[in-house]
């Protein structure tokens, strides 16, 4: 497999470069980023980050799923993260105004896909607002947790604020409190 061989050769160069310093596991900027798995998104340079600055959680569509919340629980409560960015982007593959992604995948795969919860959307900015709102309402968020949402223009690399930084209100509806 040529891709695997390329990865292993690049790793040898990386190890030889010594760039893999002993960074702490806690993100230096107390920041977690939820962004899309799209290979056109260079999360660190676009956001002015260096290795060790932030946790980056990627999935199709930059959606705040239950698995993202699982990762954020560890990031916030164990590793000190206090800020989250949801970074969506233009020309995303989950933009599905026709609602045809399940049918398309069924045709391509030859059977109905196992997972049919794709997190598709028809408006990328609304998707970011919905996911920021989910983070702001997340009952397991730590005190002082702040959330913002950005849209990355794939063609230019420019970021637009969709949800300005906002601190979640204190959790008051936790059972047993």
DSSP for 103-157, written as a single string: HHHHHHHSS--S------BS-HHHHHHHHHHHHHH-TTPPTT-EEEEEEE-TTT-
The model's pLDDT over 108-133, given as tens digits with 9 standing for 90+, comes to 999 988 877 888 889 999 999 999 99
pLDDT of residue 176: 47
pLDDT of residue 172: 54
Q: What is the mean pLDDT of the chain?
A: 91
Cα 159 to Cα 87: distance, rounded to the nearest angstrom: 9
Cα 144 to Cα 161: distance, rounded to the nearest angstrom: 20
Q: Is beta strand 31-36 parallel, antiparallel or unpaired with respect to 83-89?
A: parallel
Strand order in the sheet with 31-36: 54-59, 31-36, 83-89, 146-152, 159-167
Whether domain 24-167 has CATH 3.40.1050.10: yes
pLDDT over 70 for what percent of the chain?
Answer: 95
Residue 113 makes CB contacts below 8 A (sequence gap 6+) with: 102, 105, 106
* Domain residue extents for the chain: 24-167
Q: In this structure, how many other beta carbons lie within 10 angstroms of the beta carbon of residue 136?
A: 17
Find residue 13's DSSP bridge partners: none
Residue 40 makes CB contacts below 8 A (sequence gap 6+) with: 89, 154
Q: Say what the pTM is.
A: 0.88
Residue 100 makes CB contacts below 8 A (sequence gap 6+) with: none
């Amino acid at each position: 497999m040529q891709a695997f061989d390329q990865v292993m050769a690049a790793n040898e160069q990386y190890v030889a470069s010594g760039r893999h310093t002993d960074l702490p596991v806690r993100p230096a900027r107390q920041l977690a980023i939820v962004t899309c798995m799209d290979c056109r998104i260079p999360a660190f340079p676009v956001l002015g980050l260096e290795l060790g600055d932030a946790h980056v959680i990627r999935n199709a569509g930059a959606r705040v799923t239950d698995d993202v919340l699982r990762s954020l629980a560890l990031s916030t409560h164990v590793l000190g993260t206090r800020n989250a960015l949801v970074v969506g982007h233009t020309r995303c593959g989950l933009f599905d105004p026709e609602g045809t992604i399940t049918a398309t995948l069924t045709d391509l795969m030859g059977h109905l896909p196992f997972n049919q919860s794709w997190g598709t959307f028809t408006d990328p900015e609304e998707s970011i607002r919905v996911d920021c709102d989910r983070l702001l309402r997340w009952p397991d968020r730590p005190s002082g947790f702040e959330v913002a949402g950005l849209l990355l223009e794939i063609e230019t690399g420019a970021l637009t604020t969709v949800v300005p930084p906002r601190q979640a209100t204190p959790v008051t509806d936790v059972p047993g409190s």
